[in-house]
Amino acid sequence: MAAVERQQWDVVVVGAGGAGLRAAIEARERGARTAVICKSLFGKAHTVMAEGGIAAAMANANEHDTWQVHFRDTLRGGKFLNQWRMAELHAQEAPDRVWELETWGALFDRTKDGRISQRNFGGHEYPRLAHVGDRTGLELIRTLQQKTVALQQEDFRETGDYESRLKVFQECTVTRILKDTASDSGSAAGRVSGVFAYDRETGRFFVLEAPAVVLATGGIGKSFKVTSNSWEYTGDGHALALLAGAPLLNMEFVQFHPTGMVWPPSVKGILVTESVRGDGGVLRNSEGKRFMFDYVPDVFKEKYAESEEEADRWYEDPDRNRRPPELLPRDEVARAINAEVKAGRGSPHGGVFLDVSTRMPAEVIRRRLPSMYHQFKELADVDITAEAMEVGPTCHYVMGGVAVDSDTAAARGVPGLYAAGEVAGGMHGSNRLGGNSLSDLLVFGRRAGWHAAEYARALAGRRPPVDDVQVDAAAAEALRPFSAEAGGDGETVSPENPYTLHQELQQAMNDLVGIIRREGEMEQALHKLAELRARARRAGVEGHRQFNPGWHLALDLRNMLLVSECVARAALERTESRGGHTREDHPAMDRAWRNVNLLCTLADPAGGLAAADPARGQIRLARETTEPIRPDLLALFEKEELVKYLAEEELYE
């Protein structure tokens, strides 16, 4: 048996972005000894890249804003597929979560009367996003990081050890959730008993024993070629949950942000914040036309301006004019850009033009959008105060994720497992509104930390034991890439380069399960995934275990392949277009699909991958009917609007 160091904690949080840190702070404040594990250095998580703001109905910029309006906007944005209780809690609690950040030292931009300033964003009826220029994510992560340090300073004063109650294991990766065996727990599924991880710096394995684990690992964008996501976004938490026996919800919904950079090639996909449009930027095609007026879908017709004049008046007088169509939800704008480019009206490098230079004075642009000014100046030689940007869709966010209980963030089916933030599904339905991510992280990060701490406390003294067999199996799995050359089945086959496999996966997902989907292409994608799965078992690495990126990538491939299969299978199954899932062969939204969730589970309930049939794949798909939306929440909408979304029988219940 491998000699693996073990430590005991009450709660282990996987991921140190907004959701992970908020969960860890909450768990520690509720008395749980809490460990945070993150793949990067502390303070570098992907949350840092969030630009526009945190959506919360504080009503600082428009007194009419309330949680009910925010809830309505969120459901419209998600095309009514949202797990409505999550959307309700999110809208109700977001203001408190933002204000709380101020008490931890955050410095948001201010209104004239000294309150937190709020800006306009796509799909939000009122200016709602608390922000700091266009670097809100940095402020969020730094504030949570500094709050974590503040708690460690408290612990140091009491115990003489900064890390006695809250420790960050930075540059470490979790590869398996450990569970007790059926005989220990008395339940077939087994309860969480800890995590198996390796230290990236040394390559050393270790086990953190804990009855409660919070997944807060973010998204899956690194399975796509053009993405705004960082290397960390390899779907780790999604895969860990699947392997532990928990289902993933609605994985077909992947958000393509309408505005990523398109040139030069090396920066293709890097995000251009929606604040550019929120603050007045407009989209034009190669003919100079503001094309978004042609793309307002029926469900949103009454809410968006029909002329440029009305749209322009809205910025000054929002009560008597309708908003510009550039501020439609992201899925609508991304599809429109895609269609313009396809029709031959794109920009020289295959995007469209996003212009603020003719809309605002140069100094206002530099003050409100400093990062964008810097990013285009440095990386593309474009001065956005003088010329238009070229932008196009980029894979940005996954709405699908671990199926969770709305109130507790507990993963379905695996006692002790929790999920919060992007890795959790349900909250955003089929499409997330801008600004709702940072608030989601805070609201559900806190809830996950809270309930994980309570669950762990209830198990004090009878913690589920760690199964040595699982630890050995996890160690063998992690070491596999070093012995790949031997060939798994006695054959002599040359090892595969993990970088090559990754590039092929990204190309396949981009081309075959991207922004516009077709049945034949998705079937082709499933075949390609089966081939890549087989080859990935031969992914080999050079060198040794100390800080070896090739090895790390070889291990991350397992997760990307699992998650990609979920996306492709669910996308093939859902024969309609809704939010972040657009089928060319089924272009309309179908009310019969409104209350259908698609659940992905691992084909082998024991968490094994080796035996999976290459053609049938590793994932099983099931449909379930969603819980009806509570009547008092439905009553927030006009009947005329509901008929566009809900099936007949839902309306008359």
Q: Let me know if 630 is a catalytic residue.
A: no
8 Å CB contact between 300 and 328: yes
Of 68, 92, 100, 644, which lies in the binding site for other proteins, with binding defined by CB under 8 A? 100
Cβ nearer to other proteins, comparing 550 with 607? 550
Of 1, 3, 63, 113, which lies in the binding site for other proteins, with binding defined by CB under 8 A? 113
d(CA 28, CA 145): 14
Spatial strand order in the sheet of 54-55: 54-55, 129-130, 118-119
Cβ nearer to other proteins, comparing 508 with 568? 508
The piece of 140-148, 245-253, 410-418, 623-631 that touches other proteins (CB under 8 A) is 140-148
Beta carbon of residue 43, minimum distance to other proteins (angstroms, whole number) = 6
Using CB under 8 A, which residues numbered 221 to 280 contact other proteins? Answer: 230-232, 263-267, 270-271
Cβ nearer to other proteins, comparing 39 with 124? 39
Q: Residue 378, interface with other proteins (CB under 8 A)? A: yes
Cβ nearer to other proteins, comparing 58 with 246? 58
| Active-site pick, 70, 277, 581, 583 | 277
Beta carbon of residue 20, minimum distance to other proteins (angstroms, whole number) = 15
3-class state of residue 413 by DSSP: coil
Buried residues in 272-287 as b, exposed as e (16+ CB within 10 A): bbbbbbbbbbbbbbee
Cβ nearer to other proteins, comparing 120 with 230? 230
Q: Residue 160, interface with other proteins (CB under 8 A)? A: no
User: What DSSP element (H or E) covers 29?
Assistant: helix 18-29
Beta carbon of residue 241, minimum distance to other proteins (angstroms, whole number) = 23
Q: Where are the alpha helices (DSSP H) in 518-623?
A: 519-536, 549-573
Beta carbon of residue 317, minimum distance to other proteins (angstroms, whole number) = 23
d(CA 306, CA 300): 11
Cβ nearer to other proteins, comparing 138 with 419? 138
Using CB under 8 A, which residues numbered 295 to 324 contact other proteins? Answer: none
Number of residues counted as binding other proteins (CB under 8 A): 72
The binding track of 324-353 with respect to other proteins, each residue x by CB under 8 A or -, is ------------------------------
Beta carbon of residue 170, minimum distance to other proteins (angstroms, whole number) = 8
The binding track of 54-93 with respect to other proteins, each residue x by CB under 8 A or -, is ----x-----------------------------------
397-401-405-406 Cα dihedral, nearest 10 degrees: 10
Those residues whose C-beta lies under 8 Å from the C-beta of residue 461, and which sit 6 or more positions away, are none
Q: Residue 507, interface with other proteins (CB under 8 A)? A: no
The 3-state secondary structure of 135-156 reads CHHHHHHHHHHHHHHHHHHHHH
d(CA 368, CA 275): 9
Of 104, 161, 584, 643, which lies in the binding site for other proteins, with binding defined by CB under 8 A? 104
Using CB under 8 A, which residues numbered 387 to 446 contact other proteins? Answer: none
Token pair recorded at residue 352: 């469209």
Nearest to 177 by CA among 213, 217, 222: 213
| Active-site pick, 76, 257, 323, 517 | 257
The backbone region for 532, taken as left when phi is positive above 0, alpha when psi lies in -120 to 50, beta otherwise, is: alpha
Beta carbon of residue 110, minimum distance to other proteins (angstroms, whole number) = 4
Q: What is the CA radius of gyration of the chain?
A: 24
Strand residues in 231-339 grouped as ranges (E): 248-249, 254-261, 282-284
Q: How far is CA 232 from the centre of its chain?
A: 12
Beta carbon of residue 541, minimum distance to other proteins (angstroms, whole number) = 6
The piece of 44-52, 120-128, 567-575, 586-594 that touches other proteins (CB under 8 A) is 44-52
Beta carbon of residue 264, minimum distance to other proteins (angstroms, whole number) = 2
Of 150, 458, 476, 636, which lies in the binding site for other proteins, with binding defined by CB under 8 A? 150
d(CA 215, CA 243): 13
Using CB under 8 A, which residues numbered 355 to 374 contact other proteins? Answer: 371, 374
Of 8, 66, 92, 115, which lies in the binding site for other proteins, with binding defined by CB under 8 A? 115
d(CA 179, CA 7): 16
- Amino acid (1-letter code) at residue 470: Q
Of 62, 92, 162, 479, which lies in the binding site for other proteins, with binding defined by CB under 8 A? 162
8 Å CB contact between 392 and 337: yes
d(CA 445, CA 300): 32
Cβ nearer to other proteins, comparing 49 with 456? 49
d(CA 277, CA 269): 18
Beta carbon of residue 200, minimum distance to other proteins (angstroms, whole number) = 9
Q: Residue 102, interface with other proteins (CB under 8 A)? A: yes
Token pair recorded at residue 545: 């275990």
3-class state of residue 453 by DSSP: helix
Nearest to 219 by CA among 195, 206, 236: 236
Of 146, 187, 307, 494, which lies in the binding site for other proteins, with binding defined by CB under 8 A? 146
Is the previous residue joined to 264 through a cis bond, with omega within 30 degrees of 0? yes
Beta carbon of residue 546, minimum distance to other proteins (angstroms, whole number) = 6
Distance (Å) of CA 230 to CA 420, 551, 559: 19, 18, 15
Cβ nearer to other proteins, comparing 100 with 573? 100
Q: Residue 596, interface with other proteins (CB under 8 A)? A: no
Of 132, 208, 571, 600, which lies in the binding site for other proteins, with binding defined by CB under 8 A? 132
Nearest to 141 by CA among 45, 237, 14: 45
d(CA 563, CA 241): 11
Cβ nearer to other proteins, comparing 14 with 141? 141
Beta carbon of residue 223, minimum distance to other proteins (angstroms, whole number) = 17
Of 2, 5, 41, 161, which lies in the binding site for other proteins, with binding defined by CB under 8 A? 41
Cβ nearer to other proteins, comparing 153 with 483? 153
Beta carbon of residue 590, minimum distance to other proteins (angstroms, whole number) = 38
The dihedral through the CA atoms of 54, 55, 60, 62 has a sign that is positive
Of 483, 503, 507, 575, which lies in the binding site for other proteins, with binding defined by CB under 8 A? 503
Cβ nearer to other proteins, comparing 480 with 591? 480
Of 258, 281, 392, 498, which lies in the binding site for other proteins, with binding defined by CB under 8 A? 498
Q: Residue 485, interface with other proteins (CB under 8 A)? A: no
Q: Residue 541, interface with other proteins (CB under 8 A)? A: yes
Distance (Å) of CA 560 to CA 77, 189, 196, 318, 570: 27, 24, 19, 44, 15
Q: Let me know if 131 is a catalytic residue.
A: no
Cβ nearer to other proteins, comparing 133 with 190? 133
User: What DSSP element (H or E) covers 94?
Assistant: helix 84-103
User: What DSSP element (H or E) covers 334?
Assistant: helix 330-342
What are the catalytic residues? 257, 277
